[in-house]
Chain A
Amino acid sequence: MKLEAVNLSRRFTRIKGDANYFTAVSPTDFSLKEGAVTVLMGRSGSGKTTLLNMLGGLLEPSTGSVSVDGRDLYAMDDDERSRFRNRCIGVMPQGHSALSSLTVLENVILPHALYGAGEDAEEYARELLSRFAIADISDVRSSELSGGEARRMTIARALICRPGIILADEPTGDLDDENTVLVLETLRSLADEGASVLIVTHENDAARFADEIYRMDGGTLKKI
């Protein structure tokens, strides 16, 4: 799947009701290519996550548009966009994003269960858990996971619906070297299978898995 952003920008209000804005992402054009890994680097607060959220249909842009295979994400209503994201875009948010009321396996199946039968996805979910070496804790409540385990679970969850686009925000943040390589290799292999992958990271290691590298600085995107 091909993702394209045109003239995309986002401003935030600093003080509610006041005209005091700051620009998190300056107007920019951006695209994710099918079968490619794009790495987006930059300092904290540079606007990387804001850009990723807009690309994932999670944050209404101030200007511009985001389209996937020609379909404008923000022209869709919330129901349609949510369902579209569920099927086509795998988002891995930053930090611990497991639902504490569910087990690891249930967390991974959750996206599939939203619009279909969760049971159908169980086999693939177990396969993903094995792939990320967390199969033995599939019945453990996600609140009991370590940072690394939770991160791997998040990656498995993002892949459960076999999305064509994968947006990973600091996917290796809590991982040791071994797991960092495992995750990056997995994302690389998904791209090799045809997915469009965006990795937002601080890790310089990610660069060697990338087809394209961008840097974000003060809301301005530059291709390296």
Chain B
Amino acid sequence: MNIRSLPIKNLKKKPGRTAVLLILVIFLSFAVFAGSVTVSSLGNGLSGLERRLGADIIVVPSSARSHVDLEQMLLSGTPGYFYMDKSNLGKVLSVEGVEKASPQYFMASVKAGCCSLKTQIIGFDPDTDFSVTPWISESYQSRLETQDVVVGSDITVPVGGRVRFYDVNCNVVAKLAPTGTGLDTAVYANDDTVKILMQAAADKGMAQTEGDPDTLISAIYIKVADGYDVQTVADYINIYMKKVEAVPARSMLSGISDSLSGISDTIKLLVAAVWILAFVIMIIVFSGLVNERKKEFAVLRVVGMSRKMLARLILTESLILSVIGGVIGIALGAAVVFPFSAAIEARIGLPFLTPGAGTVILLAALSLVAALVAGPAASAYSAYKLSRVDTGVILREGM
């Protein structure tokens, strides 16, 4: 008989009571962990998107908005295309405050026999690009050759495999890290490859433009020099350049950012509400239990247990429940959030990028702390109340 085993024996003796408390802690830690991972994934998705965009301003043909949903196409990889004259690039480069400018080429493959898959194909100029290359270099350090492509993480073709667009075979040389957006289904190639694909599409009667691919670009990605205001540069382009529209990237993201912030706030509120609700229920349950176990505790006092030891016993029981319930709740949270992150992303329509192992471990640790605090804190009041009652008063009421 070791006194340290008493809390475990007490918990085992009343499985129903133990199960109720355990479920409460599981519920609490599940909510805290799943909620915090979700909020972190949403934040991560937005930062990933910002990083991925990599530009301060994007210049597109002014007719683009009437053809496609610009934000959907640029941020979510929804297949689409538009073109403008390449001479715009030189004009943009001459605008004061523009530090770098690089063209991009968009085209959409089709769901037909000539193409392996229907997706957005994004071409860039390796010599001037500053937005796609840093991202690609995380998984592929060599220069992209003609007919080499880098695919988004959600495209199932393996590295070393081939994809076919308009009957042109392309080599998959790398797969990108996930962004948590529809861009994970896009394909990236250099400008020469895209021009070959545009020509191939035209040869099949599926031309996406009437013009000469060599004189066309889809968009210009701009990096604004330090000391210049992004909005001012964009305004200047909009005023002085014809038939183009300069869109500050941040304003493009603001809609997503607002939705994300709204959802994150709601989740945070729900997590806090669940924590408080579970905590209050636990206080009530512990209070009821202490009342029910008053005579048991009186016996312990009779045989020489001090108030401190009694409080420690009650706190240890709740701590054991908190540890077990906390771990189970976190495991359940992980089992729900991680395997279904793609479904969550599709459901809420926002970038959703689950955090790395380090952040997940940190969130799990914090969730466990939330459970560890809740259990003992909920029982602390009852333990304190009990320790104030004279044992003789309980004994007087009769065993």
Name A's B-contacting residues (CB within 8 A).
49-50, 53-54, 56, 58-60, 78-79, 82-83, 85-87, 91, 93-102, 105-106, 109-111, 113-115, 117-119, 122, 157, 161, 169
Contact = CB atoms under 8 A, between A and B. Distances in A.
Contacts of B294: none
Contact of A79 (B2, B298, B306, B395): B306
A50 B12 contact: no
Nearest to B12: A101
B1 A110 contact: yes
B1 A105 contact: yes
A53 B391 contact: yes
B309 interface: yes
B1 A100 contact: no
Contacts of A115: 304
Looking at chain B's contact residues, is the secondary structure mostly helix, strand, loop, or mixed? helix
A97 B307 CA distance: 18
Contacts of B302: 56, 58, 85, 91, 93, 97
Contact of B304 (A49, A87, A95): A87
B306 A95 contact: no
Contact of A53 (B1, B9, B309, B395): B395
- Which of B3, B14, B300, B309: most chain A CB closer than 10 A? B3
B96 interface: no
Nearest to B393: A59
A59 B305 contact: no
A78 B9 contact: no
Nearest to A143: B13
A102 B303 CA distance: 14
Interface residues of B, number: 31
Contact of B9 (A59, A79, A102, A118): A102
Contacts of A59: 390-393, 395-396
Contact of B392 (A54, A96, A100, A101): A54
A83 B295 CA distance: 20
A114 B1 contact: no
A53 B10 CA distance: 26
A115 B2 CA distance: 10
Contacts of B280: none
Contacts of B301: 58, 82
B399 interface: yes
B227 interface: no
A102 B12 CA distance: 10
Interface of B: 1-3, 6, 9-10, 12-14, 295-296, 298-309, 390-393, 395-396, 398-399
Contacts of A94: 395, 398-399
Given A95-B398, A114-B309, A118-B3, A86 B303 contact: yes
> In the complex, which of the residues B9, B390, B392 has the most CB atoms of chain A within 10 Å of its own CB atom?
B392
Nearest to B11: A101
A140 to B, nearest CB: 14
A100 B395 contact: no
Contact of B299 (A50, A53, A93): A93
A68 B44 CA distance: 69
B90 to A, nearest CB: 85
A85 to B, nearest CB: 5
A111 B304 contact: yes
Contacts of B398: 94-95
7 contacts: A54-B392, A83-B304, A85-B304, A93-B298, A94-B399, A118-B1, A169-B395
Contacts of B13: 100-101
Contacts of A110: 1, 3, 303
Given A87-B304, A101-B10, A95 B399 contact: yes
7 closest Cβ pairs, A-B complex: A86-B304, A59-B392, A95-B399, A53-B392, A118-B1, A101-B13, A82-B306
Given A82-B309, A95-B398, A95-B399, A111 B392 contact: no
Contacts of A122: 1
Contact of B395 (A58, A101, A106, A117): A58
Nearest to A125: B1
Nearest to B10: A101
B3 A96 contact: no
A13 to B, nearest CB: 11
Given A95-B398, A101-B9, A106-B1, A114 B392 contact: no
Contacts of A161: 304
Contact of B396 (A53, A60, A97): A53
A143 B123 CA distance: 78
